[in-house]
Amino acid sequence: MAKQDIAQLSIDTIRTLSIDAVQKANSGHPGTPMALAPLAYCLWQKILRFDPENPVWPNRDRFVLSNGHASMLLYSMLYLTQVKAVNSQYEQAGHLSVTLDDIKNFRQLDSKCPGHPEYRFTSGVETTTGPLGQGVATSVGMAIAGRWQAARFNRPGYALFDYNVYAVCGDGCLMEGVSSEAASLAGFLKLANLCWIYDNNHITIEGSTNLAFTENVAMRFEGYGWNVIHVSDANNLNQLEEALKARENVQDRPTLIMVDSHIGYGAPKKQDTAEAHGEPLGEEEARAAKKFYGWPEDAQFLVPDGVLQHFAEGVGERGKNLRQDWVSLFAAYQKEYPDLATQLHQMQHRQLPAGWDKDIPVFPADAKGMAGRAASSKVLNAIAKNVPWLMGGSADLAPSTKTLLEFPEAGTLSPSNPGGRNMHFGVRENGMASILNGLSLSKIRPYGATFFTFSDYARPGIRLSALMEIPVIYIFTHDSIGLGEDGPTHQPIEQLASLRAIPGLNVFRPGDANEVAEAWRVLMEDTHEPAVLVLSRQNMPTLDRAKYASAKGVAQGAYILAGDEHRDPDVILMATGSEVSLCIEACERLLQEGIKARVVSMPSTELFEKQPKEYRDSVLPPHIKARVAVEQASVFGWDRYVGDTGAIIGMQTFGKSAPLLELQKCFGFTPDKIVEIARSQAKGARGQAS
């Protein structure tokens, strides 16, 4: 078979596998995989530095399918290039990541080919995509990480990191605001190792993009500071290869390659319609498409002889040689730079260096105390000095969120200093969260910060962090109505409950400086879950741990802070954050009245729920019904801890603009109010007992 023929045969194999998988599932999107099969073939077979035998090789090029509804394009490539599976310990499992049976079970239960690509579930998938725009935004984090790792680890003669990031996207991705945020930052940082490939087909679910999207995309990206290349025919392999190679010569900016295509190339009836994008072709049109390709019309999931071998001789052989060269280079590097080699190994395997927590401060008792954000700053800087790959920044609020790394060697990440550890995301919370995901997927330990109320803007990325099980750290300050005069637009109410509702996300709202320190200790050791730190703007008293329980109880999510743990209390006071000290004051007054009160600090409900039932019952004995929960946030969720008869002092409305003390009095967050309600609870419990 002639070389050109095997190339076309391979392209049509990608197309027909996608047609057959979507048709069998009776669900999915065949049009984009059909149209972009030549691009996928050209990129993987001619350009991508990727070893199917080891899809987690650190210096591999990254391929991100941002328009994740076209997932069969990626699954076809993973099967045809025979990508091997990797387990959770980053070890090769020996079997294929995606088998032909998986493709036959596309979108079915437990298939490695779910409706949208999922990181960790399917080896070779670099990031979970589906929500449009998230993939391209995440790719910016990957590109930043590549440059950062090069600055950190490369030495003369040892180019350990020089990988490129390729992200395929469509009209929908570029309409989403998150892609604009990320593209703007990528242009500012001059990320020459980043290439977005835009499938310019003018079709979305509703129909032609003329309905709502007629802007000049090329001019927009040129305005961002990108290099823009135009490919007029998605079927022209020569044009595609020339564009991809031309990008490599651009060293001062990211590149957007605009590829003109028609949805569902080869589908005679639906090729220019939204239907081909969003639903199976149907048996008749699937047969017509195969006939158009010169394919056996009745063949199902056909992979002709020679196709697998062709990919093995292309991307397979190239990737194997590049990886082996890298392994040899790293072996020599280990001998010459053993300390850096150890750091690289630890970073790649999400391990922490010995002594990483040795400088975490212990805060002395102090009635005046300190704000949660200030305590976090001290802890963050103490840890970051000993974990060189801990880096991040804020969405334009570093002075307020206290997230600046202040030691001299940290530096600021910029176009001229890609190895800086202080990042400035600008006012781009949505983009920031996605970029943090890209950094984490590249094994950097990232954090990002903003005011808690603006976590709403970052929510899509936070959710994907949890879905992908990656240890991104989100730092949200100004955690309550404690903002005072800034008023309800800046005072978070429902955010705490809504973040607690995300599966796999650990939310911490520490009650004093030492709880902040312990929260950092816990979250740093968690390698498969993202964490949210919710921190106060106002001072919180630093509790006397000689009098009250150790802050190490944070590791259990909730613990008995005050009161005799060996005797049943008359009433249990529960709180998080700045309200913990209010409960401590109320507890002391109740004890003077002869009411045995217990204070339970509950900085993380997620961690508490993971504890054995025996422990949970020891903290909150089921038979003690007199309970009061205190939190300057929505009351939603607290009913499971106070029960039907307990009380909640929380927010039933949005806040108001006024000084903090006035707001606390207005909404009942005072020791007087807590004592009053606790007294009533204890009395009611006694009455029921009698």
Catalytic residues: 429
Decide: residue 336, CB within 10 A, 0-12 exposed, 13-18 middle, 19+ buried: exposed
Task: In whole angstroms, give the CA distance from residue 441 to residue 63.
Answer: 13
Structure tokens that stand for 421 in this block: 């550890």
CA distances from 674 to 551, 634, 650, 660, 667 (A): 23, 17, 11, 17, 12
CB atoms near residue 623 (< 10 Å): 8
> What does the DSSP 8-state code read for residue 405?
-
Which residue has tokens 């020459």? 192
The CA-atom distances, in angstroms, between 55 and each of 63, 68, 96, 394, 458 are 11, 19, 11, 32, 29
Local structure of residue 312 (DSSP, 8 states) = I
List Cβ neighbours of 428 (8 Å cut-off, separation of 6 or more).
Answer: 181, 182, 184, 185, 395
Identify the residue whose tokens are 């800034």.
486
Distance between CA atoms of 44 and 33, rounded to whole angstroms?
A: 14
Residue 522, phi then psi, degrees to nearest 5: -70, -50
Nearest Cα to 81, choosing from 302, 312, 305? Answer: 312
Q: Which two tokens stand for residue 627?
A: 């309970």
- SS3 track for 638-681: CHHHHCCCCEEEEECCCCCCCCHHHHHHHHCCCHHHHHHHHHHH
| Cβ–Cβ under 8 Å, residues 308 and 43 | no
Residue 605: half-sphere exposure toward Cβ, Cα within 13 Å: 21
Q: Which two tokens stand for residue 674?
A: 């807590």
Cα(78)–Cα(472) distance, integer angstroms: 27
Give the 3-state secondary structure of 568-605: CCCEEEEECCCHHHHHHHHHHHHHHCCCCEEEEECCCH
Round to whole Å and give the CA distance between 84 and 94.
Answer: 6
> Nearest Cα to 554, choosing from 563, 567, 564, 545?
545
Helix, strand, coil shares of the chain as percentages rounded to 5?
45, 15, 40
